[in-house]
Structure 1
Amino acid sequence: MKTNLTYNPFSGLLAEDINAVLVPRFNMETLISKIKQPEELFTIEFLGKQGRGKTTHLRSVHQQLKGFPIVFLNAKSSASEVLNHTKEILFIDSIHHLKIKERLQLFKQKKTIVYTTHYTRKWECLIAKKKIYSLQFNGIEPETLQLILNKRLLLASPEGLECENLFSVKDSTVLIKKFKDNYRAIINHLYETYQ
Structure 2
Amino acid sequence: MTLPRLLHLAECAFMILLAYMVVWRLLPAMPQHPQLVVFLVAELLGVVLILLQRPGDVATGVKPVLVGFGGTAAGLLIVPRGVQLVPDLASTSMILGGVALSILAKLSLRRSFGVVAANRGVYRLVRHPMYMAYIINHIGYLMLYLSAWNLAVYALAWILLWMRTDEEEKVLRADPAYRAYAEKVRSRLIPGLV
Shorter-chain TM-score bucket reads under 0.3
Query: TM-score, normalised to structure 1's length?
Result: 0.26
Structure with a larger share of its residues in strand = 1
Query: TM-score, normalised to structure 2's length?
Result: 0.26
The structure with more radius of gyration: 1
